[in-house]
Amino acid sequence: MAATSQEGRVVAVRGPVLDIRFAAPPLPALNEAVAVRWDRPGRLVAEVAAHLDPLTVRALAMGETAGLRRGTAVRATGGPLTVPVGDAVLGRLINVLGETGDLGPALPEGIERWPIHRRPPPLAEQTGTSALFETGIKVIDLLVPLAQGGKAAMFGGAGVGKTVLIMELIHAMAERYEGISVFAGIGERSREGHELLNDMRHSGVLARSVLVYGQMNEPPGTRFRIGLAALSIAEYFRDRGHRDVLLLMDNVFRFVQAGSEVSGLMGRLPSRVGYQPTLATDVAALQERLASVPGAAITGIEAVYVPADDFTDPAITAISGHLDSALVLSRDRAAEGIYPAIDPLASFSLQLDPLVVGGTHAAIADEVRRTLAHWRALQDVIALLGVEELGAQDRQIVARARRLQRFLTQPFAVTEAFTGRPGRSVALKDTLAGCRAILDGEADDWPEGALYMTGTLDDARRAAEAAGAGRTA
C-alpha cells in the first residue's frame, strides 16, 4: 500500500512530459496513473512511461500542462488509468479519463471502472467465427465480406471517403445490428465528433452506443491511450454482459502517430521512417484485444489513413498483419466519381471462401474480379487505340466490367443532404442476383448511367426503361 499513498514532486516540465521525484522507493509502476495536485481547474492525470533513476519517473500528461510549476505535489494512484463501464455510459461521449463531454448529466457515483491496460483473452479461450456481418453495401458484401468477430480496416489517403464509409456503416448497422456500438475517435477533428454525435442522436443509434474521444487538439498521451480506453468499455460488454460489440475506430494511423510523438518526447531513438522503435508492439497491444469469446464477439472496423498514399509505409504494413479483411480506397476511383471508392482488386477478405460464404457467392465474386481485372489489363491499349480496336470478346468483357463497376456504386444515407440521392441498403441476395445478371449479359443494352448510384438491378432496370422512354419521346 505504500505506493498508493506515495507523494512526489514535479521537478521538470517539458510540454506534456513531466519528471517526478519521489522521496523514497518503491516508485509507481510503468503505466500507473499519477494525479497532479495543482491549483488549476480540471483534473490533471499523467501516466508513468519510464523510470529515470531510483527516485525519479518520467510521466506523460493526459491534459494540458500550461501553468504547471516545478514543486507541485503528485500522488501515485496505485493503478493504471481507468474508464467507467456499464449501461450508464451508453448514449454518452467520454474522454480518456472517463469524463463526459456531451453536456449531459454526470455519471452515477460509484460507477464501476475498468483499467485501460488489459490482456487479451488467452488463445485457448478465443473463438473463431464464420458468421458474416452483412452491411447492405454491395461492393463490401460481395467482394470483401466482413466477419462477425473479425477485424477489418479501410485504408486510404486523405479525402477518399474513409470517415463517410465509417458513418454509413454505423447508419447501416442501426437496424441490422442489435448489439452495442463503441466508437473510438482517435486524433479526429472536433467538427467530425460533433457531427457524428448529432447524426447518431437523430438516427436513434445513440442509446446503444458509446463515443470515446481523444481529439486532434489534445496531447499525444490522450490520443495514444484513447483506443485502449474504448477497448476496455467494449470488453466489459463482451465479458460481463455477454453481448456482441461493434467497435469502430477512426483513425488508427493517428494512434500510431501519437505513439511516435510519445516516443520522441521520451527521448527514444526513432526507427524506420521516423516511427517509434516499439511500433509493432504498440499496434499489437491494440489489435490483439479485438477478440471473440464463447457467446460474445467484438467486431472491429477501423479507418486507417495512408500517408502520401504509400501502402508500403511501416505503420500500414504493421496494421495490415492483424486483419481479416482490408478495404483499400482508391484515389483514382474517387476522382472518377465511383463511390464507395473501394478498389475491388487491391482489397481482400479471408472470408471470401466457398466454405464460408458458399459456392455461389464465391463463384460470382471470382468472376466479377476476373472481369474487372481483364478490363484493367486492357486499359493501356484502350487509352492508346480506343475500345473499337479490341476483339469482339474483349469489347464485351469491357462493356460488362464498366456496368459492374457502376452497379457496385451506391448512394449513402449519410450523404443524402449533399447529393440529393436517398441512401440505399441492398441485401446480399440482391447484390449477387444483380452481378450474375450483368455477367450473363442481361444489361448489355442498358445505358451505363442506369446502373450508376442505384440499389438493386430492378432499380437499374427501371432507370434504363425510363432513359429509353425519354429517348423515344
Which residues are part of the catalytic machinery?
A: 162, 188-189
- 435: closest CA among 368, 370, 373? 368
C-alpha dihedral (427, 325, 91, 172), degrees to nearest 10: -20
Residue 95, all three cell numbers: 474522454
- DSSP track, 51-111: EEETTEEEEEESS--TT--TT-EEEE-SS--EEE-SGGGTT-EE-TTS-B-SS-PPPPTT-
SS3 35: strand
Helix/strand/coil percentages in the chain, nearest 5: 40, 20, 40
> Are the C-beta atoms of 95 and 214 separated by less than 8 Å?
yes
- DSSP track, 170-226: HHHHHHH--SEEEEEEES--HHHHHHHHHHHHHHT-GGGEEEEEE-TTS-HHHHHHH
- 9: closest CA among 50, 53, 81, 69? 69
What is the spatial distance between Cα 304 and Cα 2, in angstroms, rounded to a whole number?
Answer: 43
Task: Give me the half-sphere count of Cα atoms (radius 13 Å) on the Cβ side of residue 166.
Answer: 31
What is the spatial distance between Cα 52 and Cα 112, in angstroms, rounded to a whole number?
Answer: 33
